[in-house]
Amino acid sequence: MEACLAANAAIPSGAIHGRITRARICHIERRNRRTAVYVGHGTEFPELVGFSVRVHLQIALRRKSEFARTVFCRAPFINVTVGREAESGTRFPFLSNAGRKVMTNVSAIVENELCPLLQDTKTPDDVRYFKSEDGNAEGSTVIRAGKDSFQAEHELVKLIAWTVVTEEVTLVECLKLCSLLAERWDVSCGVLQIDFVLESWLHAKLPSGTLDIATIVVMLGPETDSPHFLFEFIQSGPSLVVVLDHVPRKDLVLDTDYQQRFYEAPGLDEIRKLFEEAPNSKPYISPTLFVRSIVSPTAVLYKLNAGTQVDGGGLEEQIETVVYSGSQKMTEAWIESFLTRGSSGCNLEDTLKRDNKIKTFGFEVDLSANLPRLFGKNIADRVVEAFRTGGRIKV
């Protein structure tokens, strides 16, 4: 015999929209007796009511239907153990609300501005989502390569052809249109060339607690000397490490104009100061010397702690106020640098060499630092391979 129960349950903080994979209803008050009912999987949150959720369950009951109806009315105590299952396509599914807002905000800004310049992702499905064998760790890496001028030209040709066919233009008009379009494409595609945009997240349950790493990286090609963009959000337990930077393409000691152009004029140090002056924040000194040498002088490298408040509530607040606005400002400043302050690289070879170093010793090492021990060698190799081949410029 089956009965449908609906009850309100309080969502533990930090839970997400999605599925309850395991809901255990612990005592349901029934007349005067309590029964523990264990319920299986795949139950959905149909609606979120404030901080409660209405749970619809199908449970097997031994007794008679009338009893079921009683149960239905009197199911006030529900302990909902929320398992977190990443849904394909849910972005940053394991972060808290505040953390996810931060990451999706930055992701949206980057997406908005750069979408026309990016190809569709060719990342294989088993890199777009992967899970360790023991189920303790999950992750996702999505890489979108920038369009190259060949593709841009290809699209330009398609656009012209379509215009000619549909608009029935004369030859003269067609030529004029061609040159206009070519000019526009040249401006938007010839100079502003992206290598790739990477978005990834990792979630792992470790003996010491949970670890969440969310990353957004934009690397540019040698056609422009604008800095790369790096954003890492690393939360483990009650502390959060934020890495936010415009990664320089040149030796700043040798090229003081570069420093002036991309770091002093845009006032990036003000953004760093926001983090410096936040309560419970202290500078984060990376254990890897290479990471210390690639970041810029105005890099945000800070560790925020929950402070003395219970529940990590203090940290959520920090994320909403400091990290959200700081990351937004930094991303917007980066977009502006990318669109308006870059100039054509004069030394393509050197720039390529340097970028390769950053890719291999910086980002690749960063990615593969955690992957093998959390996911095993197979998955780690797959992800690193996707990283190596996913950009416009191969390593």
Binding residues for other proteins, rule: CB under 8 A, are 250-254, 256, 259, 263-264, 269, 276, 282-283, 285, 289-290, 292-294, 296-298, 350, 353-354, 357-358, 361
Which residue, 136 or 368, has its beta carbon nearer to other proteins? 368
Residue 299: CB minimum distance to other proteins, A: 9
Q: Specify the residue, 296 or 331, whose C-beta has the smaller distance to other proteins.
A: 296
Q: Which is nearer to other proteins, 113 or 364 (CB)?
A: 364
Q: How far is the CB of 290 from other proteins (least distance, A)?
A: 7
d(CA 210, CA 52): 24
Angle at 121 between CA 119 and CA 125, to 5 degrees: 165
What is the nearest approach in angstroms of other proteins to the Cβ of residue 176? 46
Shortest reach from residue 348's CB to other proteins, in Å: 14
Q: How far apart are CA 196 and CA 215, in angstroms?
A: 13
In order of 10, 220, 353, the CA distances from 358 in angstroms are 46, 12, 9
Long-range interactions of 250-254: CB distance < 8 A, separation 24+: 250/225, 250/351, 250/354, 252/296, 252/297
Strand pairing partners for 49?
52
Nearer to other proteins, 137 or 300 (CB): 300
Find the shortest distance in angstroms from Cβ 257 to other proteins: 11
Quick one: 15 or 218, whose CB is closer to other proteins?
Answer: 218
Report which of 13, 232, 202, 196 is spatially closest to residue 103, judged by C-alpha positions: 232
Strand residue runs (E) in the chain? 2-10, 19-20, 24-30, 33-38, 43-44, 47-49, 52-60, 130-131, 137-145, 194-206, 209-220, 228-236, 239-247, 281-283, 300-305
CB of 341 to other proteins, least distance (A): 16
Q: Which is nearer to other proteins, 164 or 252 (CB)?
A: 252
